[in-house]
Each structure stands twice: as structure tokens, then as C-alpha cells.
Amino acid sequence: MNSLEIEMFFWNRKTTQDKFKNAIRDVVDFPKQGIIFKDITTALKDAEVLRETTDLLYEKYKDMGITQVVGIESRGFILGSILAYKLGAGMVLMRKPGKLPADTFKVEYELEYGTDSIEIHKGALTNNDVVLLHDDLLATGGSATAAIKLINKFDVKAVHVNFLIELDFLNGADKLPKSDSVYSMVHY
């Protein structure tokens, strides 16, 4: 990239981040009292925001040799699928217990408002894979930590972690196990 292309990339990234952040809706007291839920559905329904967000993330990861995108249920499936398609990678689902039909690995974790667990098919990844783990939100780091632990069971070549939103005040990124990179598009 020449200097003008680099300047335009960073300007476009900032513009996309601002558009995405402005399109998010806050839902008070969901899923329980005291939580302010960052609802991305209002950003996803805007075709321009969806396209620009996906393009920005594609540009970030296009040269990293991603072979599999792992999406965390359920909002991680949306952009995760689009990114997998654009990157020429496969799409692997991490789901809540009992949702995957074959043998799985399972990890339990704590949420900011309870406990949960996720599973992945035992044959989902190989040690030749370069993985992009994608989810919509990083809060306390519980589900992302569990997801990275599941991915690491496969001894993959690399794990890159991506979130659309990070709630910085909860320090979730500090709690994540080692990965090759962690990127959050917008921060609160």
C-alpha cells in the first residue's frame, strides 16, 4: 500500500466504526435487571453498515491465511459466515449444549449474569488450521475464554480473535488465554 492507500484505509475504518457504533441499539435491563444489552440487529439491518463492517474485517484478516472461521452462538454466526465466504475459509459453529448432532468437546464458563457452556464437534478443526474466532461482543471474557480453550484442543497453527464490540470496563481481554491476536472493532 502506498501512503494515500494507507491513509484512506484508516479513514474508512474510522468511518465504518463510527457508523457501526451509531447503529447499535442499547436495550436496558436485558437479559436481566442492570444489564445494558448492545443490540447489533439494528446495525445488521442497515445494508451499508453491514457491507462496510464486513469489508473492514475482511481487509484486516485477508492476508492471515485463515482456513476456518469459528462463530460463537448465535450472533457470531452472522458475520462469521460472511467472513468465511469472503476469506475462502470454512465455517465452524460453537453451540450451546445439545445443539450439535455428533460427538463434541464442551467447556463451561461464567457470564456477567450467570453460567453457560459451549460445544464444538470433535472433528471440527485440525492442527493445520489457522482459525479466526468471531463473536459479536467481548464483555467479561467468559464465552471467548471457553471458545479459545475448545479451539486449543485441536492444536491449531494460530488463533485470531475478533469481536464487533468490546466493553472495556469489564476487562474481558485481560482474561483471555493466549491467542495470536485479538481485535475489537468498537469499544465502550
The set of catalytic residues is: 75, 112
Cis, bond preceding 177 (omega within 30 deg of 0): no
115, 143 in Cβ contact below 8 A? Answer: no
The Cα–Cα gap between 137 and 164 comes to 6
Q: 10 Å Cβ neighbour count for 130?
A: 17
φ, ψ dihedrals at 21, nearest 5°: -60, -40
- What are residue 118's DSSP bridge partners? 107
Geometric angle at alpha carbon 46, from 40 and 50, rounded to 5°: 70
73, 93 in Cβ contact below 8 A? Answer: yes
CB-based contacts of 6, cutoff 8 Å, min separation 6:
none
